Amino acid sequence: MKLRNKSVLVTGGGGFIGSHLVEHLLKLGNDVHIVDDFSNSNANWVPSDAKLTMGDLTNCEIIEQVVGPEIDIVIHLAARKDPNDDDPDGQFVENTTMTRLLLKECQIENVNEFVFASSSTIYGEAPRPTPENYAPLEPISVYGASKLGEEGLVSSYAHSHGINSYIFRFANIVGPRLRGAVIPDFIEKVRSDPKSLTILGDGRQEKSYMHITDCVEAMCHVINSQTSVPVSTFNLGTKTTTSVDQIANIVCNTLDESPDYQYTGGDRGWKGDVPKMRLSTEKLTSTGWEPKYESDMAVRLAVKELATELSKGNYSDSLK
């Protein structure tokens, strides 16, 4: 599949990753249709040359409206993604329902290419770097469980109904429009209280961060270069990691503040948080693609971008 002059449906196309991906797909000359309920995003992030349907993807009528034979590929990014969701049952049902209904409609309408946004959380607390064929898969959050269940649905439709599928297991993706994550959280906290910064856990949690520009390029590179097999699964991340303490230091240096760090304690930020994560990127780099930014560089760049974005008030204004 070459992502050029194609008709692409992006679910969750109004969100952080989706809005950047949509801009990239439009630049490549694709016809892009977005469906989003804007429960965690803002319609202002949608480029004017993309077609937009506003609606909830757990509703069959919305799915029937947006999935049709004219669509060449569905890129499914919509999800409730908070790993610390206070309604885990609702999160599981919503995420798996959207994916199940979309796949069913793709089968009915003969849409034979499907991309699914999965997550490093499906691996649970696995040895690092974690390759795509690592087992046993034991997620420790309901969010991770929903992603693993959805991967199973994607695989079953790929094998039983010929829907060629790409599964991307993202590390932590960072960049403009990111919210509900450690970088924007620290920026807002330091700005509101430059004397003291509360850090969840012991600050030694260490994860791999990938810049959004690399994430979007990697997705398109893999889709463009893979010959169709029923399911192509790729980790998308960087070879290196950044600790939470390092992120706090980068934020404080960028904002030119030196607060005292207060730790809530324990080895993780919250129940279900995987404290250390580094995905193997060997399979990705063996396709001839390398990220431009390693983890620390991606964090530095995202801190600068978000500090500027947030100071303009775009951040707080961005969500309903």
Ligand X SMILES: NC(=O)c1ccc[n+]([C@@H]2O[C@H](COP(=O)([O-])OP(=O)(O)OC[C@H]3O[C@@H](n4cnc5c(N)ncnc54)[C@H](O)[C@@H]3O)[C@@H](O)[C@H]2O)c1
Which residues of this chain interact with ligand X, rule CB under 6 A?
A: 12, 14-18, 36-41, 56-58, 77-81, 94, 98, 117, 119, 170, 172-173
Minimum gap (Å) between residue 238 Cβ and ligand X:
12
Minimum gap (Å) between residue 119 Cβ and ligand X:
4
Phi-psi category of 211—alpha, beta or left, where left has phi over 0 and alpha has psi -120 to 50? Answer: beta
Minimum gap (Å) between residue 143 Cβ and ligand X:
7
Minimum gap (Å) between residue 78 Cβ and ligand X:
4
- The answer to whether the CB of 72 falls within 8 A of the CB of 113 is yes
Using the minimum distance from each CB to ligand X, give the nearer residue, 14 or 139: 14
Using the minimum distance from each CB to ligand X, give the nearer residue, 144 or 259: 144
Minimum gap (Å) between residue 196 Cβ and ligand X:
27
Using the minimum distance from each CB to ligand X, give the nearer residue, 15 or 124: 15
Minimum gap (Å) between residue 259 Cβ and ligand X:
25
Cβ neighbours for 48, distance < 8 A, ≥ 6 positions apart? none
Using the minimum distance from each CB to ligand X, give the nearer residue, 58 or 257: 58
DSSP 185-240: HHHHHHHH-TTEEEESTTS--EE-EEEHHHHHHHHHHHHHHPPP-SEEEEEE--SS
Q: How many helices (H) and strands (E) does the chain have?
A: 10, 14
Beta bridge partners of residue 276, listed in sequence order: 206
Minimum gap (Å) between residue 139 Cβ and ligand X:
12
> What CA–CA distance (Å, rounded) separates 105 from 96?
14
* Position with the least CB separation from ligand X: 15
Nearest CA-CA partner of 278 in 207, 193, 185, 200: 207
Using the minimum distance from each CB to ligand X, give the nearer residue, 6 or 179: 179
Please count the other Cβ atoms lying within 10 Å of the Cβ belonging to residue 84: 15
Using the minimum distance from each CB to ligand X, give the nearer residue, 18 or 203: 18
> What CA–CA distance (Å, rounded) separates 312 from 317?
10
- The answer to whether the CB of 50 falls within 8 A of the CB of 13 is yes
Using the minimum distance from each CB to ligand X, give the nearer residue, 30 or 40: 40
In our burial notation (b when 16+ CB lie closer than 10 A, e otherwise), range 7-33 reads bbbbbbbbbbbbbbbbbbbbeeebbbb
Q: Which amino acid is at 227?
A: T
